[in-house]
Amino acid sequence: MGKTYRPFTLARAGELAALARINPATRSAVRPVFQVAPRAWDYENDRYSKTVPAHLAPLPDKLAAVWGGGAGYADVSMLDSEPIVDGQHPLEWLATKTSDAGVPLTPLVEASSSAAAKAAAASLHGTYKTGVGIRLPQVDWTTVDPARLTTLLIQLSVAPEAVDVFVDFEGAEGAVIEVAVNAEMASLRTLGQFRSITVGGAGFPDVNGVPRGTTEYPRKEWRIYSAVREKIASTGEPIPDFFDNLVLKPDTIELGVDPRFISISAAFRYTVANDYLLAKGELFKGQGGSGKGGAALIAPLDELTRHAEYATPVRSQADDWIEAVVGGGATPGNPGKWREWATVRHIEVVAFQLSTLT
């Protein structure tokens, strides 16, 4: 029996468009953690582009359009310090509205969440009986500080049986973290029977300064999960589910960069069994109006199709799009379109890998 995939999914156009393309069989194994992005900054006028209500207002309908009938999680940690909306914390407002729209979302919090966010999560569970998701960054692991999780459970007034735990090893790597994750799994089992435990972390690597062509990077989060899974399988204990950050480097989400002064290279992020491939070309957009636009991606995609691991371990809808672009049957689009198809590819690969686990 395969495992559930719970990717942290920034709720923006490219990622949501990707979810809309996922076929029903894959959808059934995916429960996204919808992360609400921070409000955009208007650099021309030196203020936020939107109010908090205006920023949140379109999301319930957008999520219903791409994930209607499916379930997931609501993560508003990047808005936790923002003002209330219609008398509610943003977490409670979003989860209530999406539930009404046909997308039940379990609230996700952590020990460092504000008291208001924790109260919102407890209220949502009391109303909708969806349970609560709890993210455990390394500082909150029970093997590091046993009281952090137990205190949070008391604050939320929730039993382990209604909790989905996310064990986040963040950017750590190597054999030491594999041992640490296994120890954390064993420690969690002593606290009760949690509804689910999901392990993951890391994210797409830093690609600044990468040369043109196809560059390979290890999928650190998948390699660590695979090692943890193999170890746990040998003990006969339940194997955890898996999460990652799709093709995003999570610590770049909140970096404010004035778009008027950045150059963008054409690049496509491509997931294979144990690695990421970055196909990079010339400038899509440069200062002063320079750059080749979407055409700058055609040559890198052409090179990508000749890589030994192209279209493995499973062929994806994204491969059809790539070949159509290379063959002239589709336009290469822009960075948002590239993120959409890279996300489609990633989800389909991970879902395939998880479906083969026993």
Q: Pairing between strand 264-271 and 275-285?
A: antiparallel
Report how far Cα 217 is from the mean position of its chain's Cα atoms.
18
Find the distance separating the first CA and the last CA of the chain, reported in whole Å: 5
Q: Is residue 211 part of a domain?
A: no
- pLDDT band at residue 263 using 50, 70 and 90 as cut-offs: low
CA pair distance 247, 268, nearest whole angstrom: 10
Domain that holds residue 312: 260-353
DSSP H or E stretch at residue 158:
none
> What is the arithmetic mean of pLDDT over 51-61?
90
Same domain, 66 and 167: yes
- pLDDT band at residue 259 using 50, 70 and 90 as cut-offs: low
Which of 84-98, 161-175, 183-197 is least confident?
Answer: 84-98
CA pair distance 347, 26, nearest whole angstrom: 8
pLDDT at 284 over 90: no
Tracing tokens 């559930």 back to the chain, one arrives at 4
CA pair distance 178, 81, nearest whole angstrom: 34
Q: Is residue 50 part of a domain?
A: yes
How does the average pLDDT of the chain come out, rounded? 91
Same domain, 153 and 271: no
Encoded amino acid at 338, one letter? W
The pLDDT score that the predictor gives to residue 3 is 92
Q: How far is CA 216 from CA 207, 211, 213, 236, in A?
A: 11, 12, 10, 34
Q: Is residue 2 part of a domain?
A: no
Same domain, 147 and 20: yes
> What CATH number is attached to the domain comprising 65?
3.20.20
- Looking from the CA of 1 toward its CB, the CA atoms found within 13 Å total 6
> What is the arithmetic mean of pLDDT over 168-193?
93
Sheet of 105-109: strands edge to edge?
8-10, 33-35, 72-75, 105-109, 132-136, 163-168, 196-200, 241-243
CA pair distance 92, 305, nearest whole angstrom: 45
Closest CA to 237 of 200, 195, 186, 198: 186
The pLDDT score that the predictor gives to residue 41 is 73
Same domain, 252 and 291: no
pLDDT at 345 over 50: yes
Reduced to 3 states, what is the DSSP secondary structure of residue 333?
coil
Same domain, 93 and 73: yes
- Domain count of the chain? 2
SS3 of the chain: helix, strand, coil, percent, to 5: 45, 20, 40
Closest CA to 263 of 278, 251, 280: 280
Closest CA to 318 of 226, 304, 28: 304
Same domain, 155 and 282: no
pLDDT at 290 over 60: yes
Same domain, 125 and 42: yes
Q: Is residue 294 part of a domain?
A: yes
pLDDT at 164 over 50: yes
pLDDT at 358 over 70: no
Same domain, 176 and 241: yes
Q: How far is CA 133 from CA 19, 153, 295, in A?
A: 21, 11, 43
Write the CB contacts of 137 (distance below 8 Å, at least 6 apart in sequence).
Answer: 110, 168, 170
Write the CB contacts of 208 (distance below 8 Å, at least 6 apart in sequence).
Answer: none
The pLDDT score that the predictor gives to residue 297 is 95
Query: Could you tell me if 98 and 104 are in contact, meaning their C-beta atoms sit under 8 angstroms apart?
Result: yes
Q: Residues 29-40: pLDDT tens digits?
A: 999 999 998 887
The pLDDT score that the predictor gives to residue 255 is 46
Q: Is residue 3 part of a domain?
A: no
Q: Is residue 212 part of a domain?
A: no
> Which token pair is 136?
């455990």
Q: Is residue 241 part of a domain?
A: yes
The pLDDT score that the predictor gives to residue 51 is 83
Same domain, 222 and 319: no
- pLDDT band at residue 18 using 50, 70 and 90 as cut-offs: very high
Same domain, 232 and 347: no
Q: Residues 112-157: pLDDT tens digits?
A: 999 999 999 999 999 999 999 999 999 999 999 999 999 999 999 9
Which of 65-74, 126-135, 285-294 is least confident?
Answer: 285-294
> What is the arithmetic mean of pLDDT over 270-298?
84
Could you tell me the sign of the dihedral formed by the alpha carbons of 2, 238, 225, 242, in that order? positive
Q: Is residue 328 part of a domain?
A: yes
Same domain, 142 and 286: no
Same domain, 141 and 193: yes
Percent of the chain predicted with pLDDT > 70: 94
- pLDDT band at residue 261 using 50, 70 and 90 as cut-offs: very low
